[in-house]
Amino acid sequence: MTYPYQIKTLQQYHEAFKQSEENPEMFWDNVAENFVWHKKWDKVLDWNFTEPKVVWFKGGKLNITENCIDRHLATRGDEPALIWEPNNPNEETRVVTYNRLHKRVCQVAQMLTNLGVKKGDRVCIYMGMVPELTYAVLGCARIGAIHSVIFGGFSAQSIADRLEDAKAEYIITCDGAYRGNKEIPLKSVIDDALLGNKVVKKVIVYTRTSTPISMIKDRDFWWEDEMEHAEKQVEKNGVVSFPAVSMDAEDPLFILYTSGSTGKPKGVVHTVAGYMVWSTYTFVNVFQYKTGQIHFCTADIGWITGHSYIVYGPLSAGGTSLMFEGIPTWPDAGRFWEIVDKHKVDILYTAPTAIRSLMGFGLDYVKGKDLSSLKVLGSVGEPINEEAWQWYYKNIGKERCPIVDTWWQTETGGIMISNLAGVTPHKPAHATLPLPGIHPILVDENGNEITGNSVSGNLCIKHPWPGIIRTTYGDHERCRTNYFATYPNLYFTGDGCMRDEDGNYRITGRVDDVLNVSGHRIGTAEVENAINMHSGVVESAVVGYTHDIKGQGIYAYVIYEGSHHEQNLTRPDILQTVSRIIGPIAKPDKIQFVTGLPKTRSGKIMRRILRKIAEGEMGNIGDTSTLLDPNVVEEIIKGVI
Ligand code: PRX
């Protein structure tokens, strides 16, 4: 496949950027021509950031699965779309060709239709990293059902909240999932999430671990049986077909929940056409993808990175996407390198937290692995520190492979600021330059633009790009206040950022109450709410602190007044509660019991002080005179763990 919009030289990058600035509509009109449409759009862009309203490719009709699958069948039908590497290296790899993917996705679309799923219905997907997860996602998209994938590390309570928010009537899950030497009982978590739920009508269960599970009559259905039945319907005389539903450009494609600074995760909504164009355009340009290359994105499809760079971007580009079920450290810390060697991976896209963790195991695990197939390395999810960058560059890329440090967010749909591999220069620990169509600006606290270079401020984006968030599901006002109200006429990212002397951007981390733990976004308010659920906890305050491997760790200050019996119940009980309410990923790394929290006279917790204490910067606490009770600070410092 050729990509006429692929930028191949530095000069072309500057030209594309200039065109996207001078005439964004013409620029995106040209890019969108490279996709399959049922009906061409009438207008490229209609927008204002006050409501906000963003309409890309107005009047256009299409189905994203025809772009991800059908259009490749004639030329790449027998080529691999997916390569699946199981958790256990002794289990066999599965290679899914485009023809096979087409058949499976048609079957899922038929199965969902048989079970009553219609365009616009919400389908919650809670599965491990098996190819069937990709089939499920694309099967929804084929019939226009809105998928909402939930990462396998979230608890029953988190799922219940998301199901309720999305008013989802259908679930696709697995009996269980393998992760390293653990088995995660997914179906049993779903059963707990469904206690008291009256909205979910049907649950489809794919067998992965063969763990005993409960199957409720008329509610729970086996994937295998339903798919077998669907196969007979979609395949006639060896020809497979299931018509792709014609979608409006702005019909929702999926909801993906992400944490913000309030206690409740938001359902970020992306729509069909803009998201497709943006995920494909960024995939092809940032990674400089060439057809036939093997792209290994180590994320889980439960996060936006997996949506955009395991499923939609690579497949729409007719690429080969490697899906990995396991974890980087099992059976040993050489697992990634073994996969690269075994499958001759061309592009490896992973998170700084994984790199830092593998660094800690030393070079023995890299030795003897042939990494010469690698051409491009990528980093995503959090700032990459210089040490990790250098280790990755030297030991994995052997100083041959450019590293793309890709800054973006669930809300942006795809990569926003990044070097383009081998085309624009990389710079350690810098995301570098914006993609064409992206106009970052830095503002101060009052919203005044900070111009010039060697400056820092809050990162905002000026003009809509095709992959921008359209709404937060069921609550548009929330979308407005979260992203478009802080600074008028700007999309506010929530990130702090520096612009260096050459105009390169370096993202420094969140400026709101959101933590980034191992590349996962977690709201401090969410963790506090969970801790406060524990009986005996009076109040808590959660902040982040620098963590060698996770990037940020979670530090919780807890006021605890348990009953006599409960005096013996301590930190592990609180961890258990957080696990139950949110999931193991939100468990605090440190819990300090305190008798009071530093509050202003108006009752606001001074997190700045708590952050300093958590970072061990006791000598640099700053002014405490506005506190209701300055003695509290002394006490907290004395009790630091
Ligand atoms: O703080 C930024 C950080 O991750 C946040 C977005 O998290 P999420 O929506 O979960 O998406 C993660 C995968 C795209 C951002 O607000 N972040 C992401 N990439 C980078 C980053 N921080 C620094 N450098 C990056 N490359």
CB atoms within 10 A of CB 564: 6
Among protein residues, the one with the nearest Cα to ligand 1's atom 6 is 409
Amino acid at 35: F
List, for residues 595-607, the tens digit of each pLDDT value: 999 999 999 999 9
Residues 348 and 298: their CA atoms lie apart, in Å, by 8
List, for residues 242-261, the tens digit of each pLDDT value: 999 999 999 999 999 999 88
**Residue 409 CB–ligand 1 contact under 6 Å:** yes
CB atoms within 10 A of CB 499: 22
Single pTM value for the model: 0.97
Confidence band of 640 (pLDDT split at 50, 70, 90): confident
Residues 272 and 250: their CA atoms lie apart, in Å, by 6
Query: pLDDT at residue 626 above 90?
Result: no
- Name the least confident of 18-27, 189-198, 260-269, 343-352: 260-269
Query: pLDDT at residue 564 above 70?
Result: no
List, for residues 124-140, the tens digit of each pLDDT value: 999 999 999 999 999 99
Residues 42 and 495: their CA atoms lie apart, in Å, by 35
**Residue 121 CB–ligand 1 contact under 6 Å:** no
Query: pLDDT at residue 331 above 90?
Result: yes
> Percent of the chain, pLDDT > 70?
99
Rounded to an integer, the average pLDDT of 71-80 is 98
- CA 346 to chain centroid: 22
Residues 579 and 587: their CA atoms lie apart, in Å, by 6
> Percent of the chain, pLDDT > 90?
94
The continuous run of DSSP H or E covering 64 comes out as: helix 64-65
Pick the atom of ligand 1 nearest to 408's CA: 14
List, for residues 202-237, the tens digit of each pLDDT value: 999 999 999 999 999 999 999 999 999 999 999 999
* pLDDT at position 567: 67
**Residue 506 CB–ligand 1 contact under 6 Å:** no
Rounded to an integer, the average pLDDT of 65-76 is 98
CA of 73 to the centre of ligand 1 (A): 34
* pLDDT at position 562: 74
**Residue 37 CB–ligand 1 contact under 6 Å:** no
Query: pLDDT at residue 37 above 80?
Result: yes
Confidence band of 314 (pLDDT split at 50, 70, 90): very high
Mean pLDDT computed over every residue of the chain: 96
- CB 557, CB 501: distance < 8 Å: no
**Residue 191 CB–ligand 1 contact under 6 Å:** no
Phi, psi of 147 (to 5 degrees): -90, 145
Among protein residues, the one with the nearest Cα to ligand 1's atom 4 is 381
E-assigned strand segments in 41-158: 43-48, 53-58, 61-62, 80-85, 94-97, 122-126, 146-149
CA of 415 to the centre of ligand 1 (A): 10
CA of 497 to the centre of ligand 1 (A): 12
Span 514-638: which CATH code? 3.30.300.30
CA of 381 to the centre of ligand 1 (A): 4
Return the domain boundaries, the chain.
Answer: 514-638
CA dihedral 446, 449, 455, 461 (to 10 degrees): 100
